Chains A and B, each alone.
Chain A
């Protein structure tokens, strides 16, 4: 079984990213489950999706210490999920910061040493500069698919499988943009 957590803040497209992964996994013949958050918790809050696929999946929630990947669309959001990472799991983190309300009001500081700390304490982590990629794609909305492209390099599915899933889930006029975003993520160095 593979366990993937997508983390971010409301509006970053965490749910679509997990939907694409689920579609790919289902079409590859796996059982798939996912859990997500709606409602009041979404209002400017932290959002995460748990995606699990394998021969048979019971719980839609990933237990602590069992996430093979945590894909975080925002820098500090990854820290809230760290206890879920498996000992040999991997972090894929967007370097972008979205200031939480207490930082905006000056009541708290955005931690400045996160990347350094992760580098020292987590065996397997990459930090991504999505900014130049998103500029080239032409929209910041593609962040979720860029991050999915980066994740895809570590999963078993072919590029064609991913593209088919994106095509089936994204509105037609956004397909080309998302395919480009996915490709740029997949080719990220």
Chain B
């Protein structure tokens, strides 16, 4: 059998291909981006696309599924917040063709604004969730997720974490299953979620949940590996690998399907060991569940709740073995850090030099430019999620009055503006805000590696397409003062910012300059 070394994300792409997936969608976001990039590069018979945001990505995939195709939507953990609205209701409608959502959590927030644990979302949305612990499982579980989705009429989430997404390992390569696109069958009681339809669908998915629980109990996704009976460890995702490394003699219950949980298997396992311990990253999701079954166990009392785990952390917590490092520490002088920083010649650098000089309150957003909050610029004062800066900018003006808008701006990237900046801009105009929004248009989704977006004129698969005109769009939102300018001329840029911020009506400055790293 052919074997390849693949990244977790590449293995998911391979799994989608082997499962005969027809449509794949995403909005880029670390650590999930390479899934769609791999599909577009290597598996071109899958129709793949960047969507403007994760909500749209999930909806396009849902449409493909309802129409009878196998569909995949991939996103980072905070992306699933954006897509939570359709997720919770497509959980009710169910599927036609298999519908798989890849969710990439980021413990330690390596490249994110928080480290939320999206296992909670599977439970809240009543959607089954699988958790691979290696690249091989990334491929296998993705394929299986399509099967389960069709078998149980549910969307299925595959949850990975940064360490799964960005680890490589050996994967067995199999041929593609040629799965035909099923016909679309109209069924408005299933696909139109009027209250009168939603109620029986809720009953239906609770019944499916019971069947899935039986499956979870039977399936080898949740696997007992008996070892010594003194201690048993329940674990999932990459934590399983750390447990196997540092506790080779203990019994292990490996959770590969984390929702619904396998109650019977947990009971059987707990009964077979003297002491029970749960090792999981982030929240005590499994631990709380086990305790709710009335089974005592240790968990977050010894395993940290914050940041990702490592083999050393698990070894210290379970075996009391410290890993201080055998060599003496170099301490003659401090080792200078390499904090992430804007590149030399980055267009954002010009913008934030000016904003810093004018000492404006800057409501920021998600992208490379968030680094402008740090020295040497220190010119960003709020930032939460994509699109938030514009709404917050309006809220500040509402709290303090128009004079607040005379000393503040909102900044947002081109891709991010399309992702979720348009509706708050409409709000700013509609609710009579007078603030200035600067769109940092560097012609691509730079932070995640220059992916195309609706204003670049190209699709993920490399086709030419209509390029969204941001200037026209902003004007259509009702903004009358719109300036397009290159921030490299900082004197001119400063003059424009002063003028627009002073003007007592909404304005948008499109700061147009290509990312320095783009060819």
Point out residues on A near B: beta carbons under 8 Å.
9, 18-19, 22-23, 26, 31-46, 57-61, 63-65, 76, 79-80, 82-87, 100-103, 105, 108-111, 113-114, 117, 121-122
Q: Give complex CA distance A113, B334 in Å.
A: 12
Q: Give complex CA distance A125, B241 in Å.
A: 31
Are the CB atoms of A40 and B241 closer together than 8 Å?
Answer: no
Q: How far is the CB of A38 from chain B (nearest CB, A)?
A: 5
Residues of B within 8 Å of A9, CB to CB, are: 338
Are the CB atoms of B310 and A63 closer together than 8 Å?
Answer: yes
Given contacts A31-B170, A32-B170, contact A43 B341 (CB under 8 A): yes
Q: Is B469 an interface residue (CB 8 A)?
A: no
List 13 extra interface pairs beyond A19-B5, A122-B327, CB under 8 A.
A19-B168, A32-B168, A33-B167, A37-B110, A38-B34, A40-B340, A43-B342, A65-B325, A79-B335, A82-B329, A105-B376, A110-B336, A121-B327
Partner of B325 from the list A34, A41, A82 (CB cut-off 8 Å) is: A82
Q: Give complex CA distance A37, B167 in Å.
A: 9
Partner of A34 from the list B169, B242, B333, B335 (CB cut-off 8 Å) is: B169
Q: Is B294 an interface residue (CB 8 A)?
A: no
Partner of A22 from the list B33, B163, B168, B329 (CB cut-off 8 Å) is: B168
Are the CB atoms of A63 and B311 closer together than 8 Å?
Answer: yes
Are the CB atoms of B166 and A37 closer together than 8 Å?
Answer: yes
Are the CB atoms of A41 and B312 closer together than 8 Å?
Answer: no
Residues of B within 8 Å of A58, CB to CB, are: 241-242, 244-245
Are the CB atoms of B325 and A26 closer together than 8 Å?
Answer: no
Q: How far is the CB of A162 from chain B (nearest CB, A)?
A: 15
Are the CB atoms of A39 and B111 closer together than 8 Å?
Answer: yes
Q: Which A residue's beta carbon lies closest to that of B448?
A: A39
Main secondary structure of the interface of A (DSSP, over half): mixed
Q: Give complex CA distance A109, B31 in Å.
A: 34
Residues of A within 8 Å of B342, CB to CB, are: 43
Residues of B within 8 Å of A83, CB to CB, are: 324-325, 327, 329
Task: Give the contacts of B314-331 with A (CB-CB under 8 A).
Answer: 315, 323-330
Q: Give complex CA distance A30, B330 in Å.
A: 35
Q: Is B224 an interface residue (CB 8 A)?
A: no
Q: Is B495 an interface residue (CB 8 A)?
A: no
Q: Which B residue's beta carbon lies closest to that of A120?
A: B328
Residues of A within 8 Å of B5, CB to CB, are: 19, 22-23, 26, 32, 34
Chain A to chain B contacts (Cβ below 8 Å), 11 pairs:
A38-B30, A40-B30, A40-B111, A60-B167, A63-B312, A76-B336, A79-B335, A108-B334, A113-B332, A114-B330, A122-B327
Given contacts A38-B111, A44-B343, A65-B323, contact A26 B170 (CB under 8 A): yes
